[in-house]
Amino acid sequence: MIVVVISMVSFVAFVYVIGMLIPKRQEYVKKAEFKVSPEMVFQSVTDFKNQASWRKDLQEIRVKDENTWTEISSGGTAITFKTKQKVQNQFFEIEIIEAKGFKGYWVGTFEQTAVGTAVVFKEVVIIENPFFRVLSLLFVDLDKSMNTYVDNLEKKLGD
- Tens-digit pLDDT profile for residues 2-58: 888 888 888 888 888 888 999 999 999 999 999 999 999 999 999 999 999 999 999
Q: Are residues 137 and 156 in contact, defined by beta-carbon separation less than 8 angstroms?
A: no
What pLDDT shows up at residue 82?
97
Percent of the chain scoring above 90 in pLDDT: 72
112: Cα separation from own chain's centroid: 24
pTM of the predicted protein model = 0.87
Convert 16-46 to b/e letters by CB count within 10 Å (16 or more is b).
eeebeeeeeebebebebebebebebbbebbb
Domains, the chain, ordered by start: 2-157 (3.30.530.20)
Q: What average pLDDT does the chain have? A: 93
Report which secondary-structure segment, H or E, holds 41: helix 38-46
> How many C-beta atoms lie closer than 10 Å to residue 128's C-beta?
10
Distance CA 91, CA 119 (A): 10
CA dist., res. 68 & res. 144, Å (int): 25
Average pLDDT over residues 78-98: 96
DSSP category for residue 67: T
119, 100 contact by CB (below 8 A): no
- The three-class DSSP label of residue 20 is helix
pLDDT band (50, 70, 90) for residue 111:
very high
